[in-house]
Every structure is written in structure tokens, then in C-alpha cells.
Amino acid sequence: MAQEEAPSTDLITLTRHVLSEGFRLGPAATGDLTLLLNAIQTTSKFIATNVRRARLINLVGLAGETNVQGEEQKKLDVLSNDIMVNSLRASGKTAVLVSEELEEAVIIDEKNRGKYCVVFDPLDGSSNIDAGVNIGTIFGIYHIKPESKGTVEDVLRPGRDMVAAGYVMYGSSCNLVLSTGNGVNGYTLDASLGEFILTHPDIQVPSRGKIYSINEGNSCYYHEPVLKYLHSIKNPPSGKSPYSARYIGSMVADVHRTLLYGGIFCYPNDKKSKSGKLRLLYEAFPMAYLTEQAGGVATTGTERILDLQPTNIHERCSVFLGSKEDVQDLIKFYEGSK
């Protein structure tokens, strides 16, 4: 009878892993980013606990307000935003905060001001809370410009300027996926320890997948390149299998699956939503950053997402991301429509 494998006794926590990355930088590492990421993981644990208990403590349902996007705010949305803002301010490492839930950027007062700017969606996919579907927190981190004391201009920059990005997914387990510019790693919250443990080191998106993820209910509004691409993967040449459709409607969950299994995630602009629906700063940029760090491609169909220049903090854009070969196939349809 085969012996059961003993559990690992060398647990690599998120803090340990990020610190070890810092050590590689030598004297250039200040530890500030580690402390900032520590504030984000503490916030994530708090949100994860409340997501699990939402129904029991009456956090599900509407809070009676709408956010800047005109979407009705769930109680848990509001709570998550407050937790994020307070934790990031208290870290002493931030200068500017941009949240999906707040119309204006939060400029941190001088005594608590640091050198980083954090853009975030505190609870993405929150319309799915009642149904128990995976939801998450998305974040991106910029270093303020040299000589700046922290203004909105410090975040109105292309996504390629970010120094870190990640998301936390709340579901059957709580997963944190992070890149500090040196690949992508995934961590799982061990509730008994209260620590995020490294469980998915060096995530690499397969070069081609078998899954496409898009809200086909909007297909009557789609532009021709998207329709032609969808037709090509659903009706491949004989001998090839069509792609499978998987669409959760929670960006964190759909992108998480795409990073692990490959394929393509699509949320295009269309005749109804001319600029797209996803927000550039705190949804498209962080997910594009992670995708590229994992060896994938992220595009609007015509431009690399990380090269876009934001003009306002709640700007929207078209998003296609995932396996390199799949996204390149999609781009060819855009190039052919010129």
C-alpha cells in the first residue's frame, strides 16, 4: 500500500515570498511595497470573511445608493470600499487612491502620505453576491512620479507603468494572484493560519486554449470582427473541435480560469457600449498586466491595453485577453476589417 505523502512543512507565505523578491533587489528595496501589499492582504482577509457571512449578517442587498458608474451599490460593496480605503491610508505607503465606488480620487493627507498610488475595484462582480458566485477585488499599484506629492496625474498613466497588480478571488477558497513585475504567483488563504500560502508558483497561460468567455447575449450589438472570430472558433475546419463557452459574469473568476486553463476572455466595445464596459484603470490595466506577465496577450482588438493613455479615472475600454495564439487570431480579424 502506497504511503500517503506527508504535508509540506516549508510553507511559503505571501509576505515571505514578496520579501524574498525584495532581497534580490538588494539596497534598492525599501520594504515599502511589501508593507503596502501586507495592507492589501489584510483587507482581503477581512472582505473574505464578510463575503462568507454576508447572508447571515444582512450584508446582501442594496445599500440605497448608486456608485459613480450609475450601478446600484450592494451593502458589501460599500463596506469593502471603506475597508480598502482605510487600510491603505493607514499603511502610510500611499499617496493617491482610486476606487470604482468613489467619483473622485482620494488624496492622502501629508502625515499618512507614501510613495505609491493604488487603483482598485473593491468588489468586482458584486451583482453575483446573492447567487453565491465567485467575486473579487482587483488592484493595480503605481509609484508616484519623481518630485510629485501625489495627484491624479500620478495614476493617469499607461498600465505599463504599474509596479504591481493583482486580484483576490472569494469563493470556495480565497485566492490571491499577484505580479510585482517578475512573473505571476498564486496564493491560497489558509484560514486556520490566517496566511496566504504559495500554491500556484509561476503561473503561465497556455499558448492556446479551448475555452472562450464572452457574454453572447450582447452579440446583436457586436462589431463584425468579433462576430467573425466567434464564428471561426465555433465552426472550425473539419477535424478540429469547436471551443467551449464558459462565462461566469464575474471578471475575476473568468480571468482566473483563463490564466490557469488558457483560452480567451472578451468584453468588447459594441454598438451599444461604444467605449466598452470594463474600466481601464482598475479592471483592464491590472488584468492585462497579469496576463502579459504570465505570457499571454491583452488587447483592445487594435491596441495593446497597457499602452493606452487614460484621460479620466473612470474611463472604459474594450478588453480581449488570454492565450497568446488565441488573442492573435482575434487581432487578425480586426486587421482584416480595416
Q: Identify the structural domains of the chain with CATH numbers, from first to last.
A: 14-200 (3.30.540.10), 211-336 (3.40.190.80)
CA gap 114, 95 in Å, rounded: 5
Confidence bin at 26 (pLDDT 50/70/90)? very low
**Cβ atoms of residues 94 and 143 within 8 Å:** no
DSSP-derived 3-state class of residue 108 = coil
67: left (phi over 0), alpha (psi -120 to 50) or beta: beta
pLDDT (tens digit, 9 = 90+) per residue, 266-305? Answer: 999 999 999 999 999 999 999 999 999 999 999 999 999 9
Please indicate, yes or no, whether the overall pTM of this predicted structure exceeds 0.85.
yes
pLDDT (tens digit, 9 = 90+) per residue, 211-230? Answer: 999 999 999 999 999 999 99
pLDDT (tens digit, 9 = 90+) per residue, 57-98? Answer: 666 666 666 666 666 556 888 889 999 999 999 999 999 999
Output the CA angle 194-196-201, nearest 5 degrees.
160
Q: Residue 285: its pLDDT value, please?
A: 98
CA gap 291, 162 in Å, rounded: 13
Which grid coordinates belong to 67?
456608485
End-to-end alpha-carbon separation of the chain, Å? 64
Q: Residue 128: its pLDDT value, please?
A: 80
Of the candidates 230, 158, 174, 204, the residue with the CA atom closest to the CA atom of residue 47: 174
Compute the mean pLDDT over every residue in the chain, rounded to the nearest whole number: 90
Would you say residue 27 has pLDDT above 60? no
Output the CA angle 251-99-107, nearest 5 degrees.
155
DSSP conformational letter for 217: G
Q: Which residue has cell 482566473?
A: 256
DSSP-derived 3-state class of residue 52 = helix
Least confident of 23-32, 38-47, 293-302: 23-32
Amino acid at 307: D
CA gap 107, 157 in Å, rounded: 17
Q: What is the dihedral of CA 318, 321, 324, 325, to 10 degrees?
A: -70
Would you say residue 8 has pLDDT above 70? no
CA gap 285, 181 in Å, rounded: 13
**Exposed / middle / buried, residue 35 (Cβ in 10 Å: 0-12, 13-18, 19+):** middle
Which grid coordinates belong to 102?
468613489
Q: Which helix (H) or strand (E) holds 42?
A: helix 32-53
- What's phi and psi for 125, nearest 5 deg? 80, 20
Q: What are the helix and strand counts (H, E) for the chain? A: 7, 17
- Per-residue pLDDT, averaged over 246-264, amounts to 97
Beta bridge partners of 298: 321
CA-CA-CA-CA torsion sign (159, 165, 167, 173): positive
Helix intervals (H) in 100-250: 224-234
CA gap 281, 317 in Å, rounded: 10
pLDDT (tens digit, 9 = 90+) per residue, 136-160? Answer: 999 999 999 998 999 999 999 999 9
Q: Residue 56: its pLDDT value, please?
A: 67
Q: What is 250-283 written as a DSSP string?
A: -HHHHHHHHHHH--EEEE---SSSTT-SEEIIII
